[in-house]
């Protein structure tokens, strides 16, 4: 994720909306990804919401497949690339805020809002250290002992049931897996073609609920952007879904959803203005939902400077404003709120905000994390065999 920063002047190709768009807020009380698991696993069907297909909730067996990074708008623009997915019964849902993998996967698995489960982003402040939630490390290195996953996110997934999880074998035993999937039964895969085989074996052995996860669409969008590589990966995932459906017994249901969509940012990486950086102690979050942590006594000046210099490309909000907006849910405890910064830069243009500590082995072309419709709307696709 090595960024090449630039100023607003340098980024002449920045797509800044001519009118001021409004953030797409998570609909936690309505059609939202956090409601999927409760709709399927709550005792006696007591939590089936009106937006969830009743025949799926009533199915004897259900498979939930999460296609990481597949936004509703990206899928809707490519029906010929993904004919199987496009033919399923479908609608859009909102994901969570920030629209990022660590937060959204935890909400999907637990049925909780971010404010409840506490994994508030890709990188969050835990006691003065910035924890990379996916890698579970800080600047000091591996943080599994100093920041225990089960204490940081204390809620069991899948309403406490020990369900089979079909995910990449390399993810088994990681700290993030422990944080959001502990107590489940892992069934690892190493190549895409194995997913229908493993899922089919589990369902045909009588498992009533199977959770499966595939990350290829997200990876290729990050590394290659939208184009031939993205379409090829989406087509491969679509073929995998077709093969999975073929292996399901009569009466089984498939639910396909995602954790977030994507925005093509390319090289449009903005360095926070010098007047903003003067008040910043450190940063957390991610490029499209960047938290600025103020120097002691500088929170008001930081907010004013950020609004002055970045309101053209971002929704600039104080921590209090973000909490009052309910973007993390109606309830956020003080210890969880302490994991946030003082000021948020939430990109509304096709840009990412640079931070030297937030880097990786290659530049990211597509990004997510913000509250635009391209990032916030994800599919809910279903079928009963």
The domain that contains 236 carries what CATH number? Answer: 3.40.720.10
In a domain, 17, yes or no: no
In a domain, 3, yes or no: no
In a domain, 5, yes or no: no
Q: DSSP 3-state assignment of 199?
A: helix
State whether 69 and 182 are in the same domain.
Answer: yes
The total domain count for the chain is 2
In a domain, 115, yes or no: yes
Q: Note the residue count of the chain.
A: 385
State whether 359 and 378 are in the same domain.
Answer: no
In a domain, 98, yes or no: yes
HSE-up (13 A, CA, CB side) for residue 278? 9
pLDDT band per the 50, 70, 90 thresholds, residue 360: confident
State whether 126 and 222 are in the same domain.
Answer: yes
Q: How far apart are CA 177 and CA 211, in angstroms?
A: 13
State whether 62 and 197 are in the same domain.
Answer: yes
For the cut 70, the answer to whether the pLDDT of residue 17 exceeds it is no
| Contact residues for 200 (Cβ-Cβ < 8 A; gap 6+) | 244, 247, 248
Region 297-303: what's the mean pLDDT? 98
Q: How far apart are CA 361 and CA 83, in angstroms?
A: 34
State whether 375 and 317 are in the same domain.
Answer: no
State whether 162 and 297 are in the same domain.
Answer: no
Q: How far apart are CA 85 and CA 214, in angstroms?
A: 14
For the cut 50, the answer to whether the pLDDT of residue 310 exceeds it is yes
State whether 163 and 300 are in the same domain.
Answer: no
Maximum Cα–Cα distance across the chain: 63
- Asked if 35 and 111 touch (Cβ cutoff 8 Å), the reply is yes
Query: Would you say the pTM of this structure is higher than 0.85?
Result: yes
Give the pLDDT score at 15: 58
For the cut 90, the answer to whether the pLDDT of residue 6 exceeds it is no
Give the pLDDT score at 320: 98
In a domain, 328, yes or no: yes
Q: Which domain holds residue 351?
A: 269-367
In a domain, 216, yes or no: yes
Write the CATH number for 289: 3.30.1360.180
In a domain, 27, yes or no: no
Mean pLDDT of the chain: 94
pLDDT band per the 50, 70, 90 thresholds, residue 20: low
Residue that the structure tokens 């859009």 belong to: 92
Q: DSSP 3-state assignment of 359?
A: coil
Q: How far apart are CA 300 and CA 130, in angstroms?
A: 22
- Give backbone dihedrals phi and psi of 140, rounded to 5 degrees, phi first: -85, -5
State whether 151 and 286 are in the same domain.
Answer: no
Give the pLDDT score at 206: 97
CA 375 distance to own-chain centroid: 9
Q: How far apart are CA 342 and CA 317, in angstroms?
A: 9
| Contact residues for 384 (Cβ-Cβ < 8 A; gap 6+) | 55, 56, 59, 251, 252, 253, 254
State whether 273 and 149 are in the same domain.
Answer: no
State whether 234 and 317 are in the same domain.
Answer: no
State whether 82 and 222 are in the same domain.
Answer: yes
- Asked if 160 and 323 touch (Cβ cutoff 8 Å), the reply is no
State whether 110 and 224 are in the same domain.
Answer: yes
- Asked if 317 and 262 touch (Cβ cutoff 8 Å), the reply is no
């Amino acid at each position: 994720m090595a960024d090449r920063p630039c100023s607003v002047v340098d980024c002449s190709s920045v797509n800044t909306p001519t009118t001021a768009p409004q953030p797409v807020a998570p609909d936690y009380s309505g059609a939202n990804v956090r409601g999927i698991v409760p709709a399927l696993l709550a005792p006696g069907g007591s939590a089936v919401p009106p937006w969830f297909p009743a025949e799926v909730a009533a199915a004897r067996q259900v498979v939930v497949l999460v296609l990481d990074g597949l936004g509703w708008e990206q899928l809707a623009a490519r029906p010929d690339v993904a004919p199987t997915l496009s033919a399923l019964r479908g609608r859009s849902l909102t994901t969570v805020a920030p629209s990022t993998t660590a937060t959204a996967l935890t909400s999907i698995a637990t049925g909780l809002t971010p404010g409840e489960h506490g994994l508030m982003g890709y990188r969050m402040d835990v006691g003065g250290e910035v924890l990379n939630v996916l890698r579970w490390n800080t600047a000091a290195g591996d943080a599994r002992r100093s920041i225990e996953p089960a204490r940081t996110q204390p809620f069991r997934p899948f309403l406490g049931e020990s369900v089979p999880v079909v995910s990449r074998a390399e993810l088994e035993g990681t700290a993030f897996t422990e944080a959001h999937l502990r107590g489940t039964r892992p069934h690892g895969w190493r190549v895409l073609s194995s997913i229908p085989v493993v899922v089919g074996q589990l369902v045909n052995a009588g498992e009533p609920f199977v959770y499966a996860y595939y990350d290829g669409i997200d990876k290729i969008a990050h590394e290659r952007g939208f184009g031939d590589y993205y379409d090829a990966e989406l087509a491969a995932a679509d073929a995998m879904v077709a093969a999975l459906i073929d292996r399901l017994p009569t009466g089984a249901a498939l639910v396909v959803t995602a954790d977030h969509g994507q925005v093509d940012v390319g090289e449009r990486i903005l360095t926070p203005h010098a007047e903003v950086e003067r008040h910043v102690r450190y940063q957390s979050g991610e490029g499209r939902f960047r938290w600025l942590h103020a120097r002691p006594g500088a929170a008001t000046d930081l907010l004013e400077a950020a609004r002055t210099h970045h309101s053209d490309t971002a929704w600039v909000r104080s921590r209090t404003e973000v909490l009052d907006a309910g973007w993390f849910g109606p309830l956020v405890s003080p210890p969880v709120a302490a994991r946030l910064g003082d000021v948020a830069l939430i990109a509304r243009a096709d840009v990412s905000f640079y931070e030297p500590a937030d880097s990786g082995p290659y530049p990211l072309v597509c990004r997510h994390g913000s509250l635009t419709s391209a990032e916030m709307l994800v599919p809910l696709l279903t079928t009963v065999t």
